[in-house]
């Protein structure tokens, strides 16, 4: 599968909103959002963030991410990471995160890229260390249903 990436366009937003398949998946992607994800919620997040990017493959939008923090010469923090259900398990997340690391380096001259991953997000917890991320902190958070969860914070030094 040939993958490419580009900046998000308004027409991509309704498609991305279909990616989180459950309240849990939406929580992993966008903890402040309420399920189901609406174009208004995602548009607001994009407006407050930087580097919103989609991955395309086979003529379809397959993944999305952005930076909730982007300091030139400092830290870029990856957020809103989500992969289309049909594209999971095919290397799309790896491609997306690698593309976002490249964007952090090229556009922001970042010294570090951070990512946070909830303890139930097994796919993320297994992927990020393969891409050079190392844990540096754990915070207690509350999930959408009120249960206690751990947010594992990781960083990749440039």
**Mean pLDDT, the chain, whole residue set:** 96
Going from N- to C-terminal start, the domains of the chain cover 3-157
pLDDT tens track for 21-47: 999 999 999 999 999 999 999 999 999
Beta-carbon-side half-sphere exposure of residue 21 (alpha carbons within 13 Å): 5
Task: Confirm if 93 and 123 have CB atoms less than 8 A apart.
Answer: yes
- Specify the pairing of strand 60-70 against strand 50-57: antiparallel
Give residue 123's pLDDT.
94
Closest CA to 75 of 97, 38, 101, 95: 101
Domain 3-157 in this protein, CATH class: alpha beta
Residue whose entry in the numeric block shows the structure tokens 């491609």:
95
Q: Is the pLDDT of residue 158 over 70?
A: no
Give residue 130's pLDDT.
96
Q: Is the pLDDT of residue 14 over 70?
A: yes
Instruction: Give the number of residues written for the chain.
Output: 158
CA distances from 44 to 41, 47, 91, 108, 135 (A): 5, 5, 28, 22, 29
Give residue 157's pLDDT.
76
Q: Is the pLDDT of residue 117 over 70?
A: yes
- Cα 61 versus chain centre, distance: 14
Predicted TM-score (pTM) of this structure: 0.96
Give residue 1's pLDDT.
82
pLDDT tens track for 50-80: 999 999 999 999 999 999 999 999 999 999 9
Task: Confirm if 50 and 77 have CB atoms less than 8 A apart.
Answer: no
């Amino acid at each position: 599968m040939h993958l490419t990436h580009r900046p998000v366009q308004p027409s991509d937003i309704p498609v991305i909103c279909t990616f989180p398949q459950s309240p849990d998946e939406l929580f992993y992607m966008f903890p402040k959002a309420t399920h189901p994800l609406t174009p208004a919620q995602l548009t607001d997040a994009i407006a407050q963030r930087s580097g919103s990017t989609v991955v395309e493959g086979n003529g379809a939008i397959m993944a999305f991410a952005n930076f909730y923090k982007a300091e030139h010469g400092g830290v870029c923090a990856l957020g809103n990471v989500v992969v289309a259900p049909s594209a999971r398990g095919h290397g799309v997340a790896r491609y997306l995160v690698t593309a976002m690391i490249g964007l952090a380096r090229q556009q922001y001259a970042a010294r570090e890229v951070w990512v946070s991953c909830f303890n139930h997000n097994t796919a993320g917890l297994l992927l990020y260390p393969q891409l050079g991320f190392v844990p540096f902190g754990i915070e207690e958070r509350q999930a959408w249903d009120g249960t206690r969860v751990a947010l594992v914070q990781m960083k990749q030094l440039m």
